[in-house]
Structure 1
Amino acid sequence: MSVHYGSRAERWVRDRWPAIRSRGFGRFLLLRGLLAWGGVMTIAMAVMVSLRLGLDHPRLPMVLGFTVSLCATAGLLWAALTWWINERIFHSLTSDRIQ
């Protein structure tokens, strides 16, 4: 029987982070930040704005353009912050093993 110590986040970082980080920061930013977080948020915001304003609203294209740029930027920032946090957790877990 395997015993797991630490929080769920620590176990996730210990078990899955090495494979993710081996693929690189750029891939993480693109897939997890820009496409996953930014893409999902863009679609959700576009649907909500379209429902609120209506598809025939004259400013809808401008608002959707702003939404795309805002969600893409937020997705990249989220991915960079997530990478930094996971790296800190990973290094603290691996330095505990060495000592």
Structure 2
Amino acid sequence: MFLPKVMPEDKWLPLRERGIMFFITLHGVLKWGVTTAALWSGAMTVLVSDFNVARDVPRAFMIFPAVGILWGAATWWMNERFYKNTIK
């Protein structure tokens, strides 16, 4: 299973200052959700002969970014926990 990656402190602090909503939008929705939707749609188009592009691609671009919200929140939580434990 893939787990969110803890960022080095020099990368984490500037993102932390911009807030959780910015982080979730950038890292969860855009970087993870949209990228995964595009890769999945491309792979399914090539690999599955009866893949319905008109139906399944829009679904992918709704579902994966929505799951990206959870991914971004989990990544934020892990980085916050790690950061707070290292500054103690």
Task: Bin the TM-score by the shorter chain.
Answer: 0.7 to 0.9
Residue 73 of structure 1, CA deviation: 1.5
**RMSD value over aligned CA atoms?**
1.9
Taking structure 1 as the reference length, the TM-score comes to 0.73
Higher relative contact order (CA 8 A, sep 6+): 2
Write out aligned runs for 1:41-60 (5 A). 41-53=36-48, 59-60=52-53
TM-score of the pair, normalised by structure 2:
0.81
Q: How does 1:1-99 map to 2 (within 5 A)?
A: 9=6, 12=8, 14-53=9-48, 59-95=52-88
Between the aligned partners of 2:30 and 2:21, the Cα distance in structure 1 is 12
Identity %: 25
Moved over 6 A (4+): none
Unaligned runs of 5+ in 2: 1-5
Q: Which structure would you say has the larger Rg? A: 1
Does structure 1 retain, via aligned residues, the 8 Å contact 2:45–2:51? no
In structure 1, stretches of 5+ residues that fail to align are 1-8
